[in-house]
């Protein structure tokens, strides 16, 4: 009968883990510390990671690399001196990776990190067996089952530990009214628990005597039920849906929807997991239940055969989109994954050995080689989108000696080319890859396009280099449709107003949703008509008497100042920040905005949309009698 481990046993287990994986644990702990410090110092964690995430990414990959070295050295009895050399190489790789990362991380850096991370996880699955790739298949299966179960168990332990400590902190803070526990503290606690304690739990459960696993024949009953009651029914559900959809699009001769590629990949993934889980049962020669073994063998063969028509559907869908819109990173990875799935299932159908190591080994090689080089995901995507860009430019005779040159004789972009061109420019802008387009422009793009410009502003500036005879009204429409909305509200909400120095207060509101022409209200003062006119196209508010302008409020300086403050404050603005004072020949007026909505176009122009305001008036002559007529 098993017993709960004593505190001494836990200390011994911890020390053994630290001695087995010292640098892997150190790297994981440092990564957690870096993230905790980032949360403590920065209010915006995402912004901090974009500018300071290099160390976190390097330490995460370092944890995987050190674990790979430790597993390899432990399994193959590598001498301490050789292991130290390998660890020094890992240190060098981590430092080089850290130094090669740019100051500001981009989409490219994150995607390459993910590819490296997945590669590392896959290598961990087979590194103890790298010297016997053809043999020890059962040990390989048992090893990966053990670390998978250990990973799930570690997450459970860590969740319970975090929940217990968090509850204790909450209870202490609440009962004793300490008010020292903040949401930030809970996040930092979670990082420590899941970054350090979880790593310690996981590493301590990695099998040590890997060679002994080859003779192990234990097969968890729960896995058998999981396959028969969960995975296989899911496979049949996905299979039915995808086959029915395939028949429908063949009858209607339509291009498969983009989502179908993900469904096929999910279906293939579930099937692959099912095959891996039942692998030991399928390989049993003297099974106690030969019918079950045969049934599982037939299931896998039938699954692989049924997958090929769906893979053809996948190739059709992604191939057509690549033909029409070129490569992107996602389309590249989907295509490579589809090719890998086809090759793997052909191997599993044809090969008698059906070595499951080939699955993780081949996928790790593909992930690694996709991350760099002219054949890789990034250069292939850039090359494809650059070719599409130049093709559109050449079609409209905008290329002269390899450089984009405005041409008065050039034809206007078609609607399809406009959308394609915007998509291409957006591709480069989102990835901070405008330098890849620089060779095709005589203008210096770095000086033309500012870092703080929005994506739409950058596209508009690039369109301007082509000439209005080519872009037509497309840029105008883009400017009009791409706006940022700002809403400001003053703290001036008292029911009683101090109007010292003024004679009257006029309350009024305005909305462009109700009115598309200059709006005005008419007031009668001493038998004279005074008009209050709002010209939202020019951002002006005028006080008129017949044809004479008494007061002219120009709102643009106020709008500019408010938008500049928009990132720090929008509600509860001081009264003085939302008011204007103007003086005419016979009137003095103060315009106090209570609420104000502003739309800023991508060319930088701003327009008032809605507002509620009060206008205070002072007469420099005897007060006339006052009436109001709308």
Contacts 24+ apart (CB under 8 A), 465-469: 465/404, 465/406, 465/441, 466/398, 466/404, 466/406, 467/398, 467/406, 467/407, 467/408, 467/410, 469/408, 469/410, 469/412
Is residue 497 located within the same domain as residue 405? no
Is residue 422 located within the same domain as residue 528? no
Lowest mean pLDDT among 69-83, 255-269, 610-624: 610-624
Of 326, 350, 370, the last residue of a domain is 370
Query: What per-residue confidence (pLDDT) applies to 390?
Result: 93
Lowest mean pLDDT among 396-400, 470-474, 493-497, 524-528: 493-497
Residue 473 has pLDDT above 70, yes or no: no
How far from each other are the two terminal CA atoms of the chain, in whole angstroms? 92
What range does the domain containing 465 cover? 379-481
Measured on CA atoms in the order 334, 335, 340, 345, is the torsion positive or negative?
positive
Query: What per-residue confidence (pLDDT) applies to 218?
Result: 80
What Rg value do the Cα atoms of the chain yield, rounded?
Answer: 34
Query: What per-residue confidence (pLDDT) applies to 250?
Result: 83
510 in a domain, yes or no?
Answer: yes
What is the average pLDDT across 474-499?
69
- Is residue 359 very low, low, confident or very high in pLDDT (cuts 50, 70, 90)? very high
Is residue 191 located within the same domain as residue 108? yes
355 in a domain, yes or no?
Answer: yes
**Number of domains within the chain:** 4
What is the average pLDDT across 9-13?
67
Closest CA to 461 of 482, 475, 440: 475
Residue 191, Cα to own-chain centre: how many angstroms? 21
What is the average pLDDT across 1-6?
50
549 in a domain, yes or no?
Answer: yes
∠ Cα 569 499 549 (to 5°): 85
244 in a domain, yes or no?
Answer: yes
- Is residue 432 very low, low, confident or very high in pLDDT (cuts 50, 70, 90)? confident
Q: Are 42 and 78 in contact (CB under 8 A)?
A: no
84 in a domain, yes or no?
Answer: yes
Query: What per-residue confidence (pLDDT) applies to 630?
Result: 41
Query: What per-residue confidence (pLDDT) applies to 1?
Result: 44
Is residue 477 located within the same domain as residue 494? no
Most confident of 18-27, 431-440, 526-535, 585-594: 18-27
Of 423, 446, 481, the last residue of a domain is 481
Is residue 505 located within the same domain as residue 457? no
What is the average pLDDT across 66-74?
96
Give the alpha-carbon dihedral of 117, 121, 124, 125, to 10 degrees. -160
Q: How far is CA 154 from CA 151, 158, 197, in A?
A: 5, 6, 9
Across the chain, how many H-helices and E-strands are there?
23, 12
CA–CA separation, 612 and 574 (whole Å): 16
Query: What per-residue confidence (pLDDT) applies to 113?
Result: 97
Q: Residue 441 has which token pair?
A: 């422009």
Is residue 64 located within the same domain as residue 79? yes
Is residue 236 located within the same domain as residue 323? yes
The better pLDDT of the pair 156, 456 is held by 156
202 in a domain, yes or no?
Answer: yes
Residue 580 has pLDDT above 50, yes or no: yes
- Give the list of residues 6+ apart from residue 367 with CB closer than 8 angstroms, or none: 115, 118, 119, 122
What would the pLDDT profile of 214-249 be if each residue is shown by its tens digit? Answer: 888 888 888 878 888 888 888 888 889 889 988 888
**Mean pLDDT rounded to a whole number for the chain:** 84
Is residue 531 located within the same domain as residue 559? yes
Is residue 288 located within the same domain as residue 189? no
What is the average pLDDT across 473-499?
68
Is residue 472 located within the same domain as residue 514? no
Most confident of 115-124, 215-224, 595-604: 115-124
Q: Is the pTM of this model over 0.75?
A: yes
Of 370, 403, 433, the last residue of a domain is 370
3-state secondary structure of 601: strand
Q: How far is CA 522 from CA 50, 208, 508, 542, 628, in A?
A: 55, 89, 12, 12, 7
Is residue 198 located within the same domain as residue 248? no
Residue 621 has pLDDT above 80, yes or no: no
Most confident of 35-44, 459-468, 535-544: 535-544
∠ Cα 382 385 386 (to 5°): 80
Facing residues of 552 across strands?
542
3-state SS string over 394-449? Answer: HHCCCEECCEECCCCCCCCCCHHHHHHHHHHHHHHHHCCCHHHCHHHECCCHHHHC
1 in a domain, yes or no?
Answer: no
* 541 burial via Cβ count (<10 Å: 0-12, 13-18, 19+): buried
- Is residue 2 very low, low, confident or very high in pLDDT (cuts 50, 70, 90)? very low
Lowest mean pLDDT among 99-103, 154-158, 569-573: 569-573
2 in a domain, yes or no?
Answer: no
Residue 400 has pLDDT above 60, yes or no: yes
What would the pLDDT profile of 278-320 be if each residue is shown by its tens digit? Answer: 888 766 655 566 676 677 777 778 888 888 999 998 998 899 8
Is residue 395 located within the same domain as residue 412? yes
């Amino acid at each position: 009968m098993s017993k709960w481990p004593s505190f001494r046993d836990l200390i011994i287990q911890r020390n053994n883990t630290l001695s087995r994986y010292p640098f892997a644990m150190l790297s994981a702990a440092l990564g957690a510390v870096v993230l905790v410090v980032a949360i403590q110092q920065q209010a915006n964690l995402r912004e901090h990671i974009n500018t300071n995430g290099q160390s976190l990414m390097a330490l995460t990959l370092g944890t995987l690399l050190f674990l790979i070295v430790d597993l390899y050295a432990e399994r193959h009895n590598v001498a301490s001196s050789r292991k130290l050399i390998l660890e020094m190489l890992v240190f060098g790789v981590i430092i080089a990776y850290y130094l090669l990362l740019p100051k500001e991380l981009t989409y490219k850096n994150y995607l390459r990190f993910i590819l490296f991370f997945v590669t590392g996880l896959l290598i961990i699955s087979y590194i103890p067996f790298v010297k016997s790739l053809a043999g020890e298949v059962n040990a390989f299966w048992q090893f990966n089952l053990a670390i998978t179960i250990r990973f799930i168990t570690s997450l459970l332990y860590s969740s319970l530990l975090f929940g217990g400590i968090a509850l204790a902190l909450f209870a202490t803070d609440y009962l004793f009214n300490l008010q020292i526990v903040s949401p930030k503290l809970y996040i930092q606690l979670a990082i420590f628990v899941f970054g350090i304690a979880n790593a310690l739990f996981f590493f301590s459960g990695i099998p040590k005597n890997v060679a002994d696993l080859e003779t192990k024949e234990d097969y968890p009953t729960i896995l058998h039920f999981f396959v028969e009651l969960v995975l296989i029914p899911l496979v049949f559900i996905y299979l039915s849906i995808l086959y029915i959809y395939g028949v429908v699009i063949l009858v209607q001769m339509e291009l498969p929807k983009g989502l179908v590629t993900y469904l096929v990949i999910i279906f293939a993934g579930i099937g692959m997991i099912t095959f891996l889980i039942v692998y030991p049962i399928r390989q049993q020669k003297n099974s106690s239940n030969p019918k079950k073994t045969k049934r599982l063998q037939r299931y896998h063969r039938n699954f692989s055969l049924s997958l090929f028509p769906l893979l053809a559907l996948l190739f059709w869908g992604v191939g057509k989109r690549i033909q029409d819109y070129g490569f992107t990173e996602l389309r590249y990875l989907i295509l490579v994954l589809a090719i890998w799935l086809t090759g793997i299932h052909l191997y599993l159908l044809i090969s008698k050995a059906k070595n499951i190591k080939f699955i993780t080994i081949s996928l790790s090689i593909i992930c690694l080689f996709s991350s760099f080089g002219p054949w890789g995901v990034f250069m292939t995507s850039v090359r494809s989108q650059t070719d599409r860009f130049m093709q559109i430019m050449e079609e409209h005779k905008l290329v002269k000696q390899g450089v984009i040159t405005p041409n008065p004789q050039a034809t206007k972009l078609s609607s399809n080319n406009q959308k394609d061109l915007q998509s291409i420019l957006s591709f480069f802008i989102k990835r901070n890859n405008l330098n890849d387009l620089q060779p095709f422009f005589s203008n210096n793009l770095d000086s033309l396009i500012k870092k703080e410009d929005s994506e739409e502003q950058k596209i508009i500036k690039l369109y301007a280099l082509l000439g209005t005879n080519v872009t037509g009204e497309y840029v105008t429409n883009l400017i009009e449709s791409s706006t940022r909305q700002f809403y400001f509200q003053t703290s001036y909400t008292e029911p009683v107003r101090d109007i010292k120095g003024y004679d009257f207060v006029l309350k009024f509101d305005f909305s462009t949703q109700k009115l598309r022409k200059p709006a005005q209200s008419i007031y009668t003062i001493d038998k004279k008509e005074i008009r209050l006119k709002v010209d939202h196209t020019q951002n002006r508010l005028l006080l008129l008497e017949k044809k004479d302008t008494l007061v002219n409020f120009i709102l643009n300086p106020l709008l500019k100042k408010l938008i500049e403050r928009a990132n720090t404050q929008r509600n509860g603005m001081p009264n003085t920040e939302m008011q204007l004072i103007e003086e005419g020949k016979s009137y003095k007026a103060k315009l106090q905005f209570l609420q104000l909505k502003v739309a800023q176009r991508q060319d930088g122009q701003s327009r008032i949309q809605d507002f509620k305001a009060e206008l205070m008036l002072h007469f420099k002559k005897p007060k006339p009698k006052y009436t109001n007529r709308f």
